Amino acid sequence: GGVGKTTIAREVYNLIADQFEWLCFLDNVRENSIKHGLVHLQKTLLSKTIGESSIKLGSVHEGIPIIKHRFLLKKVLLVVDDVDDPDQLQAIVGGTDWFGSASSVIITTRDKHLLTCHGVTSTYEVDGLNKEEALKLLSGTAFKIDKVDPCYMRILNRVVTYASGLPLA
């Protein structure tokens, strides 16, 4: 956690969104799944993409055919952020037969095995920042300037080493 998966996914989403008919960025799937359940996530997906906020779903199994039917012939961009359970993927993304061939689904997770089990074939693993990148980010965020007074460099280097390349740490 904290390496920047969500930030990268959001930037990619914003960069390519104009190429798609329907868009949805499902934030914090892990947390929202716990708080509100999978049916809520399905309703959010349908609401954000097709604008139907009044859809009534009694169970996850009711939502699956609706999502498949509505999305199959559309060019959809979907980001499913912070997935930690295979049931979340099954309820929201299902299989490749749920979406049109020009659709793109981006999944962020801490668990690469989860993607493999779901049949995801193309992955990108985010690396932590190197020391130079981490120092630049820290000094720019903490001091709002590019050039930091040399007397702060010792403490900044200690902070960067402690954070181990994780920007949010």
Question: What does the pLDDT read at residue 66?
Answer: 92
Residue 30 and residue 82 in contact, taking contact as beta carbons nearer than 8 Å: yes
Encode pLDDT of 96-110 as tens digits.
889 988 999 999 999
Same domain, 34 and 89: yes
Same domain, 59 and 135: no
Q: Which of 2-16, 19-33, 102-116, 128-142 has the lowest mean pLDDT?
A: 128-142
Phi–psi pair at 64, nearest 5 degrees:
-60, -55
Residue 100 and residue 76 in contact, taking contact as beta carbons nearer than 8 Å: yes
Q: Comparing 120 with 81, which gets the higher pLDDT?
A: 81
- Joined tokens for residue 168: 């949010």
Q: Comparing 83 with 127, which gets the higher pLDDT?
A: 83
CA end-to-end span of the chain: 9
Here the contacts of 64-70 (C-beta below 8 Å, separation 24 or greater) are 64/91, 64/94, 66/42, 67/42, 67/92, 67/94, 67/98, 68/94, 68/97, 68/98, 70/46
The confidence band for 168, taking pLDDT boundaries of 50, 70 and 90, is low
Same domain, 21 and 94: yes
Question: What does the pLDDT read at residue 4?
Answer: 84
Same domain, 66 and 105: yes
- Joined tokens for residue 77: 């961009």
Q: What span, in angstroms and rounded, lies between the C-alpha atoms of 7 and 41?
A: 20
Same domain, 74 and 149: no
Question: What does the pLDDT read at residue 33?
Answer: 96
Q: Whole-model pTM?
A: 0.82
Query: Does 124 map to a domain?
Result: no
| Average pLDDT for 120-127 | 86
Q: What range defines the domain where residue 150 resides?
A: 131-163
% of the chain residues with pLDDT over 70: 98
